[in-house]
Chains A and B, each alone.
Chain A
Amino acid sequence: AQSVTQLGSHVSVSEGALVLLRCNYSSSVPPYLFWYVQYPNQGLQLLLKYTSAATLVKGINGFEAEFKKSETSFHLTKPSAHMSDAAEYFCAVIRRDDKIIFGKGTRLHILP
């Protein structure tokens, strides 16, 4: 069975500081992994996607994630947090039957 685990339901960082949101996956097959973001009162927006090509994936709004097979991780990072990054972030894996399995979400708070 495939699954993802997000560490930390809430993460707070200062504006301008590094953002690091952690995600670990479990998969018996090469995974396709996603990060989605949900801004307040909006839907889920795709940030980036890993499909077994380059291990470092660049997404929108300055975010990137690195796939590390040895650590079964797919952590999301951004060098410098902006107030507009405050949102809930979801790590997810898509199964071969096209079902997406989501993590519980991490709410990112940006401190001024």
Chain B
Amino acid sequence: EAGVTQFPSHSVIEKGQTVTLRCDPISGHDNLYWYRRVMGKEIKFLLHFVKESKQDESGMPNNRFLAERTGGTYSTLKVQPAELEDSGVYFCASSQDAVRRETQYFGPGTRLLVL
């Protein structure tokens, strides 16, 4: 069974540009999460989808970040316009919607560098 996949693996953009990150969860997983690790800091929660609905987006830093999950399958996270402080590793995770506090399985991450 394929794990969580993320694309691209790396992205280098200039300040002010737009970047879109993609996450494909494990097939059949209704829950999809985005996390971010800024350099030198902890990995922090951004948001949680249940199917195509945003369950919790309390961790989104500001309105330059837009996440979507059309059709309840893959998700995209768009940063527009990107700022220097957005640099970091963006992780996606998924879990089955069986019980609460279900194990989340993570993807390899997208390493974003904003110059």
Listed in ascending order, the chain A residues whose CB lies under 8 Å from chain B are 32, 34, 36, 42-46, 49, 51, 90, 94-105
Contact = CB atoms under 8 A, between A and B. Distances in A.
B43 interface: yes
Contacts, number: 58
B31 A43 contact: no
A96 B101 contact: yes
B49 to A, nearest CB: 11
Contacts of B101: 32, 51, 94-96, 98
- For the complex of A and B, list the 9 residue pairs with the smallest distance between their C-beta atoms, beginning with the closest: A43-B108, A44-B106, A102-B43, A99-B45, A32-B101, A94-B101, A102-B42, A43-B106, A104-B42
B35 A100 contact: yes
Contact of A98 (B41, B91, B102, B107): B102
A103 B103 contact: no
10 contacts: A34-B103, A36-B106, A44-B109, A46-B103, A51-B101, A96-B100, A98-B33, A98-B56, A100-B35, A104-B41
Interface residues of B, number: 27
Interface string B42-56: 111100100000011
B7 interface: no
Nearest to A46: B103
B43 A43 contact: no
A100 B100 contact: no
Contacts of A104: 41-42
Nearest to B106: A44
A88 to B, nearest CB: 10
B65 interface: no
Interface string B85-115: 0000001010100001111111111000000
Nearest to B40: A104
